[in-house]
Every structure is written in C-alpha cells, then in structure tokens.
A and B are shown apart, each in its own frame.
Chain A
Amino acid sequence: MTIRDVVRLLDAEILCGAEHLDTEIHTACGSDMMSDVLAYVKDQSVLLTGLLNPQVVRTAEMMDMLCIVFVRGKRPEQAVIELAEAKGIVLLSTEKRLFVACGILYTNGLGG
C-alpha cells in the first residue's frame, strides 16, 4: 500500500510530508519505546507511536523509516513537525488507539 492508503484507513490528518503520500510501504511497527524500535525493528517503513518528542523523528531517521503515525489523537510540537519535514519523513495523526491502528493496517495487508 501507499502512505495515502494509511491516511485513508486510519482517517488520519497529515501534519507534514504531503508530497510523499504516493510512496510505497510494506511493513510497519508500533511502539512507545524507541529503545525497542532501535533494537528489534529491521526494515519497517512506518512507525506508529503515542510518543511525541523529537527523538521519535530521530529514531525513525536512523532506521530509514518513511512515515510516523501518532495515535490517540496526539500531535507533536511544531519543532518536531519541522524536524520531520526537513528529513522528508511524513507525519500523520489519527484518533485511533495504537492497537486498533496497527490492527487496521495489518488486516489491510501491511506486514510486521
């Protein structure tokens, strides 16, 4: 699927990176612990999280991720959005909870 499909499936708001919505993605992970993302994630392109600090963007960048989805209706500060924009990382925000958002993407074909 594409990031545009993620936006549609999660009824998500686009916070930045609208120009990258047609990028293909195949896998995702969900976690609030960046330590675990760094330790266990391999080639996942999308990170779903409830954590909002700038290190979420840095972690995604180190892991070559393309998109971060903030769950539970959370929105990061403007500085975090600008950091992601500078890195070419798409930021989305959805009202759905982490478990539900991951489930929707998984059942629609996104791998773990």
Chain B
Amino acid sequence: MVDCIRLEYDVDGENFASAGHASESVKRTLKQMGVSPASVRRVAIAMYEGEINMVIHAHGGKATAEIYPDRIDIYLKDTGPGIADVGLAMRAGYSTATENIRSLGFGAGMGLPNMKKYSDDMKIDTAVGVGTTVFLRICF
C-alpha cells in the first residue's frame, strides 16, 4: 500500500477574506515534508486559483489533497452553477466574473488556464446546475 497523507478542507464561499486557507495549509505541509520549493509553488498557485474560483463562482465547497511520495492529487468539489462551456472557460482571458469580483483583483480569465499550466494533469467534471469537480495532479 502506498503511503498517502489526506487533507480535507471546507472552503467557505461566504468569506472572501479566508479564501486561500486550504492552499496555504497544503503549502505549509509540503514545505515541512521537504518537497522542492519549485514544486511547492506550483501546487500553491494551482490550488489557490481553484480555491478562489470556488469562492467567487460557486459558493465554496470541499477541497481534498492526497499527498504521495512523488505527487499530490487535489480534488476541488463544489455544488455551484457548473461551467456551461468548458472549452470557453479554459480560454485565457475569458471570464464570467462580475465587476465586483474584478474590483477584488480577480476574474481576469486566467484561473483555469493557470491551473492547467502549473499542473501535470487536470480534469474538469461539471454539470450546469449541479456543480463542478476539478482534479489536479502535480508531480514532484
């Protein structure tokens, strides 16, 4: 059996100020485990982008991280509105964010492309009106 550390977090969709708490915790854990700084940063950025998305688009949800000796698998699961057109959402610069979200410094349409850029594997399972689960794998 492969050793795995499993971390679970509730992502509070009503509290923008606390967004990033899960990513910060995972980052700290990976650092303590001695994962290379470059890998830690890739994980931190990819997961943080996902966590911000959950808060600004989907009223929060659950974030789960499974840390293996050679990689991390991250599941970001929400019960938000879902993504109508994943291809469009993956296009850099495309965003459905409101002006209010942009005034907070997010919603430039770079979140999903950035998550793909920093991960080794990314899968989006989504249904309109049901929710979205984003899977991210980052190899160390």
> Which residues of A pack against B, CB within 8 Å?
32-36, 38-39, 49, 51, 53-56, 58-59, 61-64, 79
Mark contacts of B26-61 with chain A using CB atoms, 8 A cut-off: 1 yes-contact digit, 0 otherwise.
010000000001000100110011001000000000
Does B19 reach chain A (CB closer than 8 Å)?
yes
Mark contacts of B1-20 with chain A using CB atoms, 8 A cut-off: 1 yes-contact digit, 0 otherwise.
00000000000000011011
> Which residues of B pack against A, CB within 8 Å?
16-17, 19-20, 23-24, 27, 37, 41, 44-45, 48-49, 52, 92, 102, 104-111, 113-114, 117
Pair B45/A55 contact, Cβ less than 8 Å:
no
Residues on the A chain within 8 Å of B19, using CB: 55, 58
Q: How many interface contacts (CB-CB < 8 Å) are there between A and B? A: 69
| Given A55-B19, A58-B24, A62-B27, residue A39 in contact with residue B105 (CB < 8 A) | no
Residues on the B chain within 8 Å of A55, using CB: 16-17, 19-20, 52, 104-106
| Given A34-B106, A58-B24, residue A39 in contact with residue B48 (CB < 8 A) | no
5 contacts between A and B (CB under 8 A): A34-B106, A35-B111, A61-B44, A62-B20, A79-B17
Pair A63/B105 contact, Cβ less than 8 Å:
no
Residues on the A chain within 8 Å of B117, using CB: 39
User: Which residue on chain B has the smallest CB distance to residue A34?
Assistant: B105
Pair B114/A39 contact, Cβ less than 8 Å:
yes
User: What's the Cα separation between A56 and B16 when bound, in Å?
Assistant: 12
User: Which residue on chain B has the smallest CB distance to residue A83?
Assistant: B17
